[in-house]
């Protein structure tokens, strides 16, 4: 088969189109023929490298991929050959106390396709059968490829970690990103009042279409003051943030008493200063969040099937254009997701 590999870290040019052996599914695994794969910021980190972290190079990127099953390993039940599937992006041992408790993301052997094992930038990829999720008829392959990783991440942040409730104020930073776009939809689904920040009028309009009740241009407005005005100076119950250093202090300042800041990344810097006094005086919670469980992904899939969660807007490119797709994502030259197709 053919696909892109990262053999050394660097710019988009280190994505190399190479011939590789066809993967063989082991016990409990299937081989998927990839039809489309979504591009995420995780793919960029894998390609660039992360200080203090090692990736198992050479590695095929791609966490969000969809397709059909073309081969099965031993112990796999009936898998209809024409059924279309997307894939829950995380894998684990399935045997430890965390896995048995439905907390696969805490397993010592937890991994993500395209980060710890080969992903979807290729003709084929091997996955555990339990990770298969049928794509509903109303979604195309491209639409389905925009959803798993971002919706699972946002669900775990808002529902599992922050325990969002009807009527609460939720501030979602960088609304045009995949995770934030999913968080807006999930907040709306739970009856929260969503405030979204973004840098352009086009991105603010995007957030409004998804269900944000209030939008703020963080480039032209004092977004902390605007949040306090919108909430009657009380602040919000929850802030969804993956920006990091550039927004951290402001996100904390936007929280009301007993509020929670939930973080899943730090795309604009990971080192911050924190005045601890508001944290203990106001009873604030700062919550880390990484991915989610198979059970959470199954819940998300059910809501997708019911049409209660909608796919991201996307730009379609060919898999051969993967380096260009990375460049577009890095320069923020796309609204929504980039999806690569064969």
Give the tens place of pLDDT for each residue, 225-277: 999 999 999 999 999 999 999 999 999 999 999 999 999 988 888 899 999 99
Separation of alpha carbons 128 and 115, rounded Å:
16
* Mean pLDDT, range 108-132, rounded to an integer: 96
What's residue 104's pLDDT? Answer: 93
* Mean pLDDT, range 29-33, rounded to an integer: 96
Same-domain status, 318 and 249: no
- What is the number of structural domains in the chain? 2
61 pLDDT exceeds 80?
A: yes
* Mean pLDDT, range 166-179, rounded to an integer: 95
Asked whether residue 44 is assigned to any structural domain, the reply reads yes
Same-domain status, 101 and 8: yes
Q: What does the mean pLDDT of the chain come to?
A: 95
pLDDT digits (tens, 9 = 90+) for 284-334: 999 999 999 999 999 999 999 999 999 998 999 999 999 999 999 988 777
Same-domain status, 78 and 193: no
Separation of alpha carbons 190 and 211, rounded Å:
11
In the beta sheet, which residues pair with residue 91?
111
Same-domain status, 108 and 214: no
Range of the domain at 241: 151-288
Q: Which of 153, 142, 156 is nearest to 177 (CA)?
A: 153
User: In this structure, are residues 319 and 340 in contact, taking their beta carbons and an 8 Å threshold?
Assistant: yes
What's residue 209's pLDDT? Answer: 95
Q: Which residues contact 341 (CB under 8 A, 6 or more apart)?
A: 35, 36, 141, 142, 316, 317, 318, 319
Same-domain status, 187 and 94: no
Q: Which residues contact 56 (CB under 8 A, 6 or more apart)?
A: 116, 117
Same-domain status, 249 and 261: yes
> Where does residue 204 fall: left (phi above 0), alpha (psi -120 to 50 degrees), or beta otherwise?
alpha
Lowest mean pLDDT among 80-84, 145-149, 193-197: 80-84
User: In this structure, are residues 6 and 62 in contact, taking their beta carbons and an 8 Å threshold?
Assistant: no
What's residue 269's pLDDT? Answer: 87
Same-domain status, 12 and 132: yes
Same-domain status, 175 and 39: no
What's residue 173's pLDDT? Answer: 97
User: Residue 39 — very low, low, confident or very high, per pLDDT cuts 50/70/90?
Assistant: very high
Asked whether residue 294 is assigned to any structural domain, the reply reads no
The CATH number for 17's domain is 3.90.180.10
User: Residue 336 — very low, low, confident or very high, per pLDDT cuts 50/70/90?
Assistant: confident
Asked whether residue 252 is assigned to any structural domain, the reply reads yes
The CATH number for 164's domain is 3.40.50.720
Asked whether residue 296 is assigned to any structural domain, the reply reads no
What's residue 266's pLDDT? Answer: 87
Same-domain status, 155 and 128: no
Asked whether residue 25 is assigned to any structural domain, the reply reads yes
Asked whether residue 295 is assigned to any structural domain, the reply reads no
What's residue 77's pLDDT? Answer: 82
Tokens found for residue 304: 């997708």
* Mean pLDDT, range 111-120, rounded to an integer: 96
Same-domain status, 333 and 206: no
Asked whether residue 203 is assigned to any structural domain, the reply reads yes
What's residue 268's pLDDT? Answer: 86
What's residue 119's pLDDT? Answer: 97
Same-domain status, 108 and 173: no
3-state class (DSSP) for residue 170: strand
Tokens found for residue 81: 């050959």
User: Residue 335 — very low, low, confident or very high, per pLDDT cuts 50/70/90?
Assistant: confident
Same-domain status, 159 and 143: no
Asked whether residue 94 is assigned to any structural domain, the reply reads yes
78 pLDDT exceeds 90?
A: no
Tokens found for residue 128: 């555990």
Q: How far is CA 288 from CA 153, 170, 242, 263, in A?
A: 11, 17, 10, 5
């Amino acid at each position: 088969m053919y696909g892109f590999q990262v053999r050394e870290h660097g710019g988009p040019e280190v994505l190399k189109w190479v011939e590789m052996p066809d993967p063989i599914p082991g016990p409990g695994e299937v081989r998927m023929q990839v039809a489309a794969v979504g591009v995420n910021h995780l793919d960029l980190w894998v390609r660039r490298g992360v200080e203090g972290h090692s990736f198992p190079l050479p590695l095929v990127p791609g966490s969000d991929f969809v397709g059909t099953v073309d081969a099965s390993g031993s112990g796999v039940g009936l898998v209809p050959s024409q059924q279309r599937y997307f894939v829950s992006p995380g894998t684990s041992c399935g045997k430890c106390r965390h896995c048995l408790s439905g907390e696969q993301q805490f397993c010592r052997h937890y991994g993500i396709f395209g980060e710890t094992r080969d992903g979807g930038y290729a003709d084929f990829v091997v996955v555990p059968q339990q990770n298969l999720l049928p794509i509903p008829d109303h979604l195309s392959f491209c639409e389905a490829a925009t959803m798993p990783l971002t919706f699972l991440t946002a669900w775990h942040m808002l529902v599992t970690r922050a325990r969002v409730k009807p009527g609460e104020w939720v501030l979602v930073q960088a609304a045009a990103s995949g995770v934030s776009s999913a968080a807006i939809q999930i907040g709306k689904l739970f009856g929260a009042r969503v405030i979204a920040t973004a840098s352009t009028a086009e991105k603010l309009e995007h957030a409004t279409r998804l269900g944000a009740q209030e939008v703020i241009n963080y480039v032209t407005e004092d977004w902390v003051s605007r949040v306090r005005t919108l909430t009657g100076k009380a602040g919000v119950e929850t802030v969804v943030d993956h920006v990091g250093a550039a927004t951290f202090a402001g996100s904390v300042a936007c929280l009301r008493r007993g509020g929670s800041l939930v973080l899943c990344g730090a795309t604009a810097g990971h080192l911050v200063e924190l005045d601890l006094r508001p944290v203990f005086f106001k009873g604030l919670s700062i919550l880390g969040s990484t991915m989610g469980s198979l059970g959470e992904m199954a819940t998300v899939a059910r809501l997708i099937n019911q049409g209660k969660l909608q796919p991201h807007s996307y730009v379609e490119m060919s898999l051969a254009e993967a380096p260009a797709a990375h460049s577009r994502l890095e320069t923020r030259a796309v609204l929504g997701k980039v999806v690569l197709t064969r």
